[in-house]
Chains A and B, each alone.
Chain A
Amino acid sequence: MKGGDALMTESLNVNVDRRDGLAVVYTEGYINNQGGEEIARVAYKLIDEGYKVLLLNLGGTKIVNSIGISILIEIIEKMIEIDGKLGFCSLTPTIEKTFHIMGLAQYAPIFPDEPAAVLQLRG
């Protein structure tokens, strides 16, 4: 049952890996309004710490909603303001399709996996 366990998760777990100027934010669970707010809290903290290159690895997220994504748009706006870079990787096909429907990929590139994303975002 694809994604079945993720649907049972009511809260989102967020972890961060800080790497020499680039931070990878890992999510696990449902990105709804609370999940989006948690990602934003972590992202703004990283920006305050001086990180200008962020990668959101959504490999542990099987479902999102538009309220959660609207908060991700706020983060994209912030990254544009500070002349930083934000990318996404490891999306499910449906989340990637949804991001394309919304046009997010125009402002935050989508990569198939983390190594490809890190290579491009560091470039």
Chain B
Amino acid sequence: MRKVTLALPMVPEMEIEASKTAMAIAESMRMSPDRIDEVRMAVVEACINALEHSHASAKEVFVTFEVLGERDPETLRITVRDTGVGFSPGEIEEPSIQEKLKSARKRGWGLKIIRGLMDDVEILSGTEGTTVVMSKMR
């Protein structure tokens, strides 16, 4: 297993740095270009969620990349962690385009996109922050 952790400042476009690292690691695993793109997009969304919604006093988000596999690299697991106020994932209503077209608030798509692009997604959230764990098979 290989593991890399980035501590990124919560500044605009920090998600691009995380995305670039995701791309480099996924390429080293020989993941297909389309699946790499999906990983990049999911990482961007997870970082933006941390940036926009965590309201953290510590202005950093931690992104950990782990390459899992007994012999060959088989799965890329990415953990995005903030130290913000947390939320209740079960209380988040799934967005729909029909509702959003009628609503003044068009945002709120991040988790739906992440779930749609990655193979496995787990969200852990509490008073000490939120951790999104997402995996993609090679």
A7 interface residue per 8 A CB criterion: yes
The answer to whether residues A97 and B117 also contact, given A65-B45, A66-B110 and a CB cut-off of 8 A, is yes
Contact, CB under 8 Å: B37 / A107? no
B34 interface residue per 8 A CB criterion: yes
The answer to whether residues A30 and B101 also contact, given A1-B27, A2-B33 and a CB cut-off of 8 A, is no
How far is the CB of A16 from the nearest CB of chain B, in Å? 23
Interface residues on A, range: 20 to 34
Contact, CB under 8 Å: B100 / A65? no
The answer to whether residues A94 and B48 also contact, given A4-B23, A76-B101, A107-B101 and a CB cut-off of 8 A, is no
Contact, CB under 8 Å: A63 / B19? yes
How far is the CB of B8 from the nearest CB of chain A, in Å? 15
Binary interface profile of B, 10-44, with partner A (CB < 8 Å = 1, else 0)? 00010110011001000100000110111011001
* Closest partner residue, chain A, to B96 (CB atom): A103
Contact, CB under 8 Å: A65 / B48? yes
- How many Å lie between the Cα of A107 and that of B97 in the bound state? 9
Contact, CB under 8 Å: A94 / B117? yes
| Chain A residues with CB under 8 A of B6 | none
| Chain B residues with CB under 8 A of A113 | none
Contact, CB under 8 Å: A66 / B48? yes
B116 interface residue per 8 A CB criterion: yes
- How many Å lie between the Cα of A102 and that of B37 in the bound state? 17
Q: Which stretch from A18-26, A46-54, A67-75 is at the chain B interface?
A: A67-75
* 9 closest Cβ pairs, A-B complex: A103-B97, A101-B116, A70-B106, A94-B37, A66-B109, A2-B33, A70-B107, A73-B106, A93-B34
Residues in B lying within 8 Å of A, measured CB to CB: 13, 15-16, 19-20, 23, 27, 33-34, 36-38, 40-41, 44-45, 48, 52, 95-98, 100-101, 106-107, 109-110, 112-113, 116-117
Additional A-B contact list (6), CB under 8 Å, known A2-B36, A65-B44, A80-B101: A10-B13, A67-B107, A69-B109, A73-B106, A74-B106, A93-B34
Question: Can you report 21 residue pairs joining A to B where beta carbons are below 8 Å apart?
Answer: A3-B40, A4-B20, A7-B40, A10-B13, A30-B16, A63-B44, A64-B41, A65-B15, A65-B45, A67-B52, A70-B100, A70-B106, A70-B107, A73-B101, A93-B37, A94-B40, A101-B112, A102-B112, A103-B97, A104-B97, A106-B97
